[in-house]
Amino acid sequence: MSTQPLTRRAFALSAAALLAAPALHAQPAPRFARSLAAARGLEQLHSLCIAQGGQTVLAEAIRGPSPDRAVNVKSVSKTLVASLTGSVIGTGAIPGPDAGLGELAPGLIPNGADPRVAELTVADLLTMQAGLERTSGGNYGAWVSSRDWVADALARPMVGRPGNGMLYSTGSYHILGALLSEVTGDSLLTLARRHIGEPLGVRIDAWTRDPQGRYMGGNNMALSPRAMLAFGEAYRTGGAGPEGRLVPGEWVTASWTPRTRSAFSGDDYGYGWFLFTAAGTRVAYARGYGGQMIYVLPDHALTVAVTSDESQPARSEGHAGALKRLLTEVILPEAMA
């Protein structure tokens, strides 16, 4: 299967083929017709959903299942766990992002861990600036094969100074999920159903658990493309879903404040959201392996959800880059037309 980036020429040819097709009746092209045509030119892409001005204007399954069917959103799960962190802070169970692990959940810290581990803050985990050796990339397999994922992640050597640079690591979010369970007494699944599922009016199914029975923080959660769109819309509108509030409004602002930067994409990172600016337009996005994406463009009341083949990589110079061009060079111009 081809994973080459979609070029500007391919965008133009795809859109032209759709718009030049003979019509039985001289009807105007549907909204976002060029975007849909361009999306169809991306062989790795499964679905595209677009909302503007609070209305869903496109929900199309291109190669994958129905937009109403839940799929593995991979590391979009990190954005979901960041949202749960804001919800729990909103309840007062955590005083704020600067609270330390040793203060909140000392029982999670294994014997022999670097003394600085106790001083790691919620913010350090949210921004993946814990300084600990990564559990993602080449270290992922050994980490998920360990007997205790939390202890393994926390016992790793410090390879950076906490709070001083992003080291992308699913282990940081698994620690965070365990911390949320410790301070609330609820499983991450219960928290997800209460603070994401209920406000959005969507079902949250159980997902991967570690050897201790903790639900995985930062990977393998499942949402339908429509639910992904609804989650993005809730953030766009200040944290409120159709059935209730996900997070306090100030958490949205805090989440979309740049705090570090990805060494892979070069984009800024807040609390669970990547951030960049295109042609003066602010974009916040959640990103999962393979090309599972939620883009929010508050300046244009625009939210976009994309799902892709989760078995294929989506690097910034590959499929993920093609998705960014789809957003900035086709979807955004159509939204502004």
Per-residue pLDDT of 249-290, as tens digits, reads: 999 999 999 999 999 999 999 999 999 999 899 999 999 999
Residue 290 lies in a domain: yes
41-71 pLDDT, tens digit per residue, is 999 999 999 999 999 999 999 998 999 999 9
pLDDT at residue 29, as a whole number: 55
Residue 194 lies in a domain: yes
Place of tokens 């219960």: 190
Q: How far apart are CA 278 and CA 328, in angstroms?
A: 7
DSSP letter at 32 equals T
Which structural domain range is residue 224 located in? 33-336
Residue 271 lies in a domain: yes
Are residues 294 and 286 in contact, defined by beta-carbon separation less than 8 angstroms? yes
Give ∠ CA 302-170-220 in degrees, rounded to 5: 65
Residue 105 lies in a domain: yes
Residue 26 lies in a domain: no
Using the CB atoms, write b or e for 260-292: b if 16+ within 10 Å.
Answer: bebeebebbbbbbbbbbeeeebebbbbbbbbbb
Average pLDDT over residues 113-139: 98
Q: How far apart are CA 321 and CA 337, in angstroms?
A: 23
If one counts every other C-beta atom within 10 angstroms of the C-beta of residue 104, the result is 17
Using the CB atoms, write b or e for 175-205: b if 16+ within 10 Å.
Answer: bbbbbbbbbbebbbbebbbbbbbebbebebe
Residue 16 lies in a domain: no
- The two structure tokens encoding residue 77: 């799960």
281-323 pLDDT, tens digit per residue, is 999 999 999 999 999 999 999 999 999 999 999 999 999 999 9
Q: How far apart are CA 259 and CA 238, in angstroms?
A: 20
Q: Can you give the CATH number for the domain in which 82 is found?
A: 3.40.710.10
Contacts within 8 Å (CB) and 24+ apart, 53-59 = 53/301, 54/233, 54/237, 54/301, 56/226, 56/229, 57/31, 57/32, 58/31, 58/32, 59/225, 59/226, 59/229
**176 φ/ψ sector (left φ>0, alpha ψ -120 to 50, else beta):** alpha
Residue 24 lies in a domain: no
Domain count, the chain: 1
79-112 pLDDT, tens digit per residue, is 999 999 999 999 999 999 999 999 999 999 999 9
Residue 8 lies in a domain: no
Residue 281, strand partner residues: 278
pTM passes above 0.85: yes
Residue 164 has phi, psi (to 5 degrees) of: -130, 60
